[in-house]
Amino acid sequence: MLRFASFTLLCLLLLASCSSTQRTVFEGQPKSEAEAAYREAVGILESGSYEDAIRKFSDLKLKYPYATRWSTMSDLRIADAHRESGEYSVAAVSYQDFVRTYPTHSEVPYAMFQAANCYYEQMPSNLFFLPDPWQRERKSTKQAETAYKVFLNRHPDDKNAEEAQKKLDEVQRRLANYELYVAEYNFKHKSYEGTILRTQSIEKLYPQSSLVPRALTLQAHAFLKLKDPIRAKRDLQRVASDYKDSDYAKEARAWLARNSQVPDFEE
C-alpha cells in the first residue's frame, strides 16, 4: 500500500512539473492589434488553457491574415499547445507543416526539434514492467530516430543539439535492444538465418551500441548451428580483439583456444 501511495505521489509531482511553463516576457507595448492579440493568446497558452489558446491563435490567423509575423508564429504556438496538452501526434504534424510552409524561418530548428520530441513522447513507457519497452510497438521509436537524425544533420550547432543527441542515443538503444530481442527469439526457435539477419542489422545500424559483442557472440552460435565454424571464428575473433573488456570476450577466447584448427575466414 505504501509503495502504491509513493508511486501515485511521484506521478502527481511529475504531472505538476510538466504543467508549469515559463512566462514569456514581451518588450514594450504591442505595435499592432495583431501583436496584441498574439500576446494575449500566448498568455492563455502559458496559463495551461490549451483549447482556448488554439482558438485564440486560430482567430488571429483569420482576423489578421496579412500580419505575416504574428500569423506565422501563431502556427507554431498552435503546435506548442497541442504538444503541451499531450496531443503528440497532432503536434508532430503541425510542427512538420510549419517546417514545410516556412522553410527559411528562424524557428525551423525549434519546430524540427519539437516534432522529434513528440515522437519521443509517444514511445512505449518504462512505467510498465512487462514487456520491456523495446518489445512493444516501434513505429513512434523509428519516427523519433529519423526526426532526431534529420534535426542533428541540419542543425548540429543548435542550442538543442546536445539534448537531441542524448535522446537519439536512448532511441537507438531501444531499437538495438529490439533487434537483439528478435535475434534471440529466432535462435531459441531454431531460425538461425533469421538470427543472423537481426544480429547483422545491429552491427550495421548501431555499431556504437554496447550490445554489439553480445550480438556477435549470438551470431557466432548461429553460424555454428549452421555448420559454419569459419564464420563463427571470424565473429568470435572480433569479440576477443575489439571488445576485450566485454563480458563475452572470455567466452570467445576460450572457444578460439579450443578450435585453433578452424581456418580463418577469407573475404
Query: Does the pLDDT at position 126 exceed 60?
Result: no
Mean pLDDT of the chain: 88
Q: What number of other Cβ atoms are within 10 A of residue 195's Cβ? A: 26
Average pLDDT for 205-213? 94
Instruction: Assess whether pLDDT exceeds 70 at residue 240.
Output: yes
Phi, psi angle pair for 47, to nearest 5°: -80, -10
Whole-angstrom distance, CA of residue 108 vs CA of residue 103 = 7
Alpha helices for 122-191 (secondary structure H): 139-154, 161-188
Residue 124: pLDDT band (50, 70, 90) is confident
Residue with cell 513528440: 118
What pLDDT does residue 137 have? 54
Residue 233 has pLDDT above 80, yes or no: yes
Closest-CA residue to 196 (of 172, 231, 242): 231
**pLDDT at residue 190, as a whole number:** 97
